[in-house]
Structures are given as C-alpha cells and as structure tokens.
Amino acid sequence: MERQIQMLHCQLFLKVLSNKVSSILAIATMVLLSSSSYGQSTGATKENPLTGSAAFADWTHQKPGTFRRITEADLPAPHATTSVDNGPDMVARPSGARPLAPTGFKVELYADGLDYPREIRTAPNGDIFLAESHQGEIKVFRGIGKAGKAAQTEVFASGLKQPFGIAFFPPGQNPEWVYVGNTDSVVRFPYHSGDMKARGASQKIADLSGGGRLRGGGHWTRDIAFSKDGKKMYVSVGSHSNNDDPDTHPEEKNRADILEFNPDGSGMRVYAYGLRNAVGIAVSPENGELWASVNERDELGDLLPPDYITHVQDGGFYGWPWYYIGPHWDPRHQGKHPELKNKVIVPDVLVQPHFASLEMTFYEGKQFPEEYRGDVFASEHGSWNRSRLAGYEVIRVPLKNGKALGDYEDFLTGFVTADGHVWGRPVGICVGNDGSVFVSDDGSKIIWRVSYTGKK
C-alpha cells in the first residue's frame, strides 16, 4: 500500500510539473509574439516577398511585416488535399491580449461590449459608423476619450434586417443620405453632417435577393459604394450556395454579382459577374476604379482556390461557378460553358485560400508613413475549410499609381492564442480622419484603433 501511495505521489508530481512546463512554454510563446520585433526578421520584405509554396502559411507563420505573392502558377490541382470542416475554436480574449502590428504602430481598444460588429465606415466629419448585424442596428462613435476609447456612442438607426453595407451620398463633405445594405434591400436615411441619430424613417431604394444556405447562414452581406462622381451605386450580392449552377438554380439570379443602380434605385444592371462573394467593395480615390474583396468557393482542398482582392472591370466575368482564377474548370462543372473559358479575368492579388476576405478600404490618411498612401487594407475573417487555421488578420495590399503589384503583407495578426484558439476575427476596416485605422472584430466584439507612433 505504501509503495502504491508513493507511486501516486510521483505521478501527481510529474503531472503538476508537466502542467507548469506547458504553462511556462505558453507564456514564453506569448511573450515572443508580443515583442516589438516579432515578424521583422523573416526576410520576406516588400522587395523580396515569399513566393511559391512558401507564400502559403497557417496562422503560426503569419507575422506583421511579412510580404507574400501568390500567382496562378502556384495553384495545386483540385482535391490535392481532402476538404475539411475545421471551424475556429473560439475563446474569450485573454486578459491584456491585443493584435500585433509592425514596429512603429500602436494598437488600442476603441470600443468593446459590442454585438456582432461588422462593416465600419468613416463619415466625412470623422464619425465612425458601425453595422451591428445581429441587432439590426447602425451605431455611431465619435471622438477619442479616456484610455483611447470613443468619447460618444449613439444608435443611429434600428429595426434593420441584417445590415452590413454603409455609404454616404452624395460623395463629398456634405452628404444628405446614409445608405444601408440590408440582406434583402437597400434603404437610406436622411442625414446632415454630424447627425448621430437618423433624421427620419428609412426609405427603400431597391430590393435584393436575401440570405443563402451556406455554413453559418449563407452569403447575406450586401456592401454599397458610389462612383466617384456620384452617378452610380454599386451593390455586392454573394451567391446563394457554394457552387450551384445558375443555369439550373434560379435562386442564383442576380447573385454572385456586383449590381449597378442609379442612386434612386432605378436602372439596375449587372456590372460584373462570377464573383462568388464580393463582401467588401470600394472605389479608388485615385482613379475611380471599383475594387472588391472576394471569398472564393470551398471544398476543393486546403489550398484551392485563393480568395482575392482586385479592381473590377465593367462587364467582367470572374469565373464562378464554372471556373476559378482564370480558365481553370471547377471539376464539379467540367465542360460547361466553354465559350466563357477565355473570358475569365485573373484577379490582381491572390490571397490565401479560405481566408474569408471581408471589408476593404484605401488608405488616404497622412498619419502612416508615406509608403502606405493609396494602399489597400483588408480584413481577413479566417478559415473554416482548411486543416490548419489561416487568416484571422488584417492585410495590406501595396499599390503603385493605383495599380496592384501582386503582393500582400501580413499587417495585423495575433488574433489566435499560442495553443491555436481563436479570440478575434477582423471584419470591417476604415480610415479615420486623423489617419488612424479602425478594425471591427466580431470575435472579441471590439473595435480596434491602429495608429503610427514612430519609425519602422
């Protein structure tokens, strides 16, 4: 009996020691991830990005300041790996945890305790508008108060149906309307600069196809953008399915498209098609081109096909569902529509597959270093269709004279714990009037503010 007790004591000691070692290793890893030099010694610079297979990486290799370039030539064959259902194991944000940014940038908590914060847009006067989609509300945040948090918060409008897109019309410093993309309609509210509550009831501008049947409820988000001259309104509507053929599924009509309207809702036409889910759209302030941040299809394997960010051509065809990333037939639709094969446009910037690329914005501020001016920032919500998690970050897409160079940078990471549990998921992104960047995070229910504080 005494020997058995001694053995039990020994086993208990070893278990406690093992737990302590694991805790020490976890703490050490977190310290490493939090260090200001994290990600700066990878050698994957803007001039020398990671390419080929090295450009593909899970969350453990996503480090601020790392540049990647994925090309059409890097794509594996369909089903080279088994498709998986591997959604994130969400946990509460660890005490004191915050996203990691490149050296010289500071990340602060701007607003918390939110309910499913999604798209975020800056009003001309500097107020921050946020869609809380589950609540059916649009909120407004103003100023910076104590400890970097918003000084004022108000509910601008409520009673909406899964609102997402937000846009101000007409373009310029004195908009008269706030447009909102519900899942099944576009509505607008009367607005004067500085309003924190809508001046009147909503007016329906256009009906849209709502909902979907994908994992998590389908492609229900609808983004809105106006042409630079204010003459046209663009609305993105994602597909109703993963890869159903529109020829045999009438519910896909006017979906997987970007639609064009007059600002009063008349004159609808398909501006571009074959974009499975252009969650975020934006108009370039430099040349007026329409851009989109697109979720590609699932169930073709870990590394196929890439999501993408691209300028969108009027009348352009981007492949869904018959093709992907150029003239590559989806094996589930092999042989269909051969007349479209050579019309498929290859996107400007391929990002990693299943990243779930959401809202995008152009950096027009003056706070960040000059090299950032005109670049694209986009939120990557994170994968569920990869064997090892990827995404859960904000990326930067460098542009030159308004044109993409083909690369992207891991800019804001650290939304995953050292043991692989996800606590944050970026959704929306906008540039404040002071030049800082705001990021909505529906995992931790927070809006983060990223500012530049020193030399890189």
pLDDT in tens, 241-262: 999 999 999 999 999 999 999 9
| 313 three-state secondary structure | coil
Q: For residue 14, is pLDDT > 60?
A: no
Predicted pLDDT of residue 215: 74
CATH of the domain at 293: 2.120.10.30
Report if residue 361 sits inside a domain.
Answer: yes
pLDDT band with cut points at 50, 70 and 90 for residue 216: low
380 touches 357 (CB < 8 A):
yes
| Same domain as 113, residue 23 | no
Q: For residue 387, is pLDDT > 60?
A: yes
Q: For residue 161, is pLDDT > 90?
A: yes
CA neighbours closer than 13 Å in the CB half-sphere of residue 310 = 25
Total domain count, the chain: 2
| Same domain as 27, residue 62 | no
| 422 three-state secondary structure | strand
User: What is the token pair recorded at 393?
Assistant: 């970050």
| 332 three-state secondary structure | helix
The percent of residues above 70 in pLDDT, for the chain, comes to 90
Token pair 């607003």 is at which residue? 111
Report if residue 382 sits inside a domain.
Answer: yes
| Same domain as 421, residue 304 | yes
Structural Rg of the chain based on CA atoms: 23
Predicted pLDDT of residue 42: 52
Q: Comparing C-alpha atoms, which of 224, 112, 240 is closest to residue 178?
A: 224
H-type alpha helices, 151-287: none
Report which residue type is found at 294.
Answer: V
379 touches 426 (CB < 8 A):
yes
| Same domain as 157, residue 256 | yes
Average the pLDDT over 375-384 and give the result: 98
Q: Give, in degrees to the nearest 5, the angle at Cα 61 between 58 and 67.
A: 105
55 touches 62 (CB < 8 A):
no
Give me the domain span that covers residue 236. Answer: 45-452
Report if residue 223 sits inside a domain.
Answer: yes
| Strand pairing category for 349-353 and 306-311 | antiparallel
| Same domain as 52, residue 24 | no
Dihedral class, residue 319 (left if φ above 0, else alpha if ψ from -120 to 50, else beta): left
Report if residue 148 sits inside a domain.
Answer: yes
| Same domain as 104, residue 14 | no
Predicted pLDDT of residue 22: 35
Q: For residue 240, is pLDDT > 60?
A: yes
> Phi, psi at residue 396, to the nearest 5°?
-120, 135
| Same domain as 14, residue 123 | no
H-type alpha helices, 182-239: none
| Same domain as 222, residue 137 | yes
Q: List, in order, residues 6 or more apart from 226 with CB less than 8 Å away.
A: 167, 169, 170, 171, 232, 233, 234, 263, 283
Predicted pLDDT of residue 43: 59
Report if residue 40 sits inside a domain.
Answer: no
Token pair 């094996």 is at which residue? 331
Q: Could you give the CA distance from residue 437 to residue 449 in angstroms, rounded to a whole number?
A: 6
4 secondary structure, DSSP code: H
166 touches 123 (CB < 8 A):
no
Report if residue 390 sits inside a domain.
Answer: yes
Predicted pLDDT of residue 21: 36
| Same domain as 313, residue 261 | yes
219 touches 278 (CB < 8 A):
no
Report if residue 39 sits inside a domain.
Answer: no
352 touches 56 (CB < 8 A):
yes
| Same domain as 93, residue 13 | no
Mean pLDDT of the residues in the chain: 91
| Same domain as 24, residue 161 | no
pLDDT band with cut points at 50, 70 and 90 for residue 27: very low
| Same domain as 302, residue 234 | yes
pLDDT band with cut points at 50, 70 and 90 for residue 36: very low
Report which residue type is found at 21.
Answer: V
Report if residue 235 sits inside a domain.
Answer: yes
Q: Which residues of 151-183 are buried (b: 16+ CB within 10 A; e: fewer)?
A: eeeeebbeebebbbbbbbbebeeebebbbbbbb
pLDDT digits (tens, 9 = 90+) for 316-341: 999 999 999 999 999 999 999 999 99
Rounded to the nearest angstrom, the gap between the alpha carbon of residue 130 and the centroid of all alpha carbons in its chain is 15
